Structure formats: C-alpha cells, structure tokens
Structure 1
C-alpha cells in the first residue's frame, strides 16, 4: 500500500499527470466548440490544441525546477526530455499526421474508382502538433506545474 501512497504523494508526478489531464479536457472542449460535436476520442487522443504532450513534460520540468532547482540533475533530465518530446510533436508526429491525411484521401479516391484495394481502417490524422499548439501546451504545463507544487 505504500507504493500507491507514494505515487499519489509525489507532487512532481502529480504535476505531470494534472498537466496531461487539464490539456486533454481543454482539447476536448475546444474541439466541441470548433466542430460543434463531441468526439470521445479527443479525451485520450493525440493532436489538437493544446498539446497534452507539451503540457505534461513542461509541468514535469516546472515542478522539478521548483523542487530541486536549475542546477540539479533532475531538472537537466526533465528539461532534455521536454525538448525531445516537444520537438518530436512538431516534427515527426506532425508529418505522420499530414501523411495520414494524404493516404486516407487516396484510399477514398480509390474506393470511388471501385478499385479493389484492401482497406482495414483509416489512419489516425490527429497525431502531431503545430508550433502554436505546442507553445500553448507548454504554457499550460508551466502554470499547472507551478500550481500543483504550490499546493
């Protein structure tokens, strides 16, 4: 039972969790407002505004900084991890989403031509982020990390 208690009392871990959770809820609300429909996949899915990946790692970085300071190895590790995650969200994952859109369009086009091409399911198009989505996720993570550590 100490393990579970330790996890829930770990403010740095809880900062990262709350950064992710708040971003996912905001992402779902923004999706509903913009698209006028609820998509439950948005609650757990990738992509969209704000970036939950960025919010998670920046809450981790912020809470680590506030707990251990800028000179700590914990801060160094979390900072490098955050840079990698946010760079990947804007780079490789964003390009994968663009490719998924193109491939899904091609599959639809082949279906219209009655081509016999096996299609199991469409590819996920929401996988990456624009720089603005990453920026807002990072800002959200900083705010959430600071709030959780201050409680």
Structure 2
C-alpha cells in the first residue's frame, strides 16, 4: 500500500465535497453558484468528508485496531462535533446579531456608523446534521474506492 494513500484519500474527499456543493445547491434551489466550491457550510460537509476519508484510509492501511486509527478517530470526532455544534451555533449567533442591529436601527432610528457594523460576515459557518452525515458517507466512499484504485497499481 502506498504511504500517500491516507493523505490522498483525505485531500480527495475534501475536493470532491467542495466540488459537489454548487451542484447540490442547484438541485435544491435551481441557482448555480460556483463560489460554493470554496464556501463553508452546505452539503456535503467537507470537514466531515476529509476527516472520515483520512480515518477510513488509516484503518484500511494500518488496521482498524491500530493506534493510528484510534488517534484519527478521536481527531475526527472532535472535528465533526465542531462542525455540527460550535461552528453551527457561531453562525446562528452571527445571524442573531445582524438581526438585532437591523431591528435597533429600524425601531429606534439608531444609525450604527462604526465600520465594524458594516462588515460582511458570513452567517453560515457550520453544518446541519444531515450535511455532516453526507460528508461522512462521501469520505468513506472516497477512501474505499481510492483503496481499490491503489490496488490496481
């Protein structure tokens, strides 16, 4: 087995997830946005696909009972938890803050002139559960298919 297999599996999982995002968005909304290829959030989760691809590739190449597999599992759980919870709720917090500023301006006639209030901040940072599951499935598929391709050479 090529020693680059886990790295290639992880990077390819990330790449495929990012490339799929504009097409999934198009299927849902009939709007194609190529910028989704570099966006955070969306389906499938590239964070989840990357760490799952790495973990499965390590399991296949080093053994599912190896220390390396255990390490990548723990790493993956942390990244996936972060994608679902921490980053998702940070995005929700940004949405709430934007709405509060807008409401204060409208209701009280306040005008927030400090440039910080005018900054464009992306409010979608994290993932919904289904986006993470999709990323995990994609990462596992990429790792297994890539393993089969590596066996041919």
SS of alignment partner, residue 118 of structure 2: coil
Q: Deviations over 1:55-92 (max 9, x none)?
A: 00000011111111112111111111111000111111
User: What does 1:71-150 correspond to in 2, within 5 Å?
Assistant: 71-112=65-106, 113-118=109-114, 119-150=117-148
Contact in 2 for aligned 1:110/1:117 (Cα 8 Å): no
TM-score (norm 2): 0.85
Q: Which residue of 1 aligns with 2:60?
A: 66
Q: Which runs of 5+ in 1 are unaligned?
A: 1-7
1:80-131 deviation line (CA, Å, top 9, x unaligned): 1111000111111110011111112223334443523422313211111111
Three-state SS of the structure 2 residue aligned to 1:99 is helix
TM-score, structure 1 length as denominator? Answer: 0.86
Matched, 1:34 2:28: yes
Shift in alpha-carbon separation, 1:110–1:35, aligned structure 2, 3 A: farther
Q: Distance in 2 between matches of 1:66 and 1:26?
A: 25
Q: What is the CA–CA distance in structure 2 between the aligned matches of 1:147 and 1:107, rounded to whole Å?
A: 49
Equivalenced residue count is: 144
CA contact (8 A) 2:20 2:37 kept: no
> Alignment partner for residue 13 of structure 1, among 7, 10, 14?
7
Structure 2: which 5+ runs fail to align? none
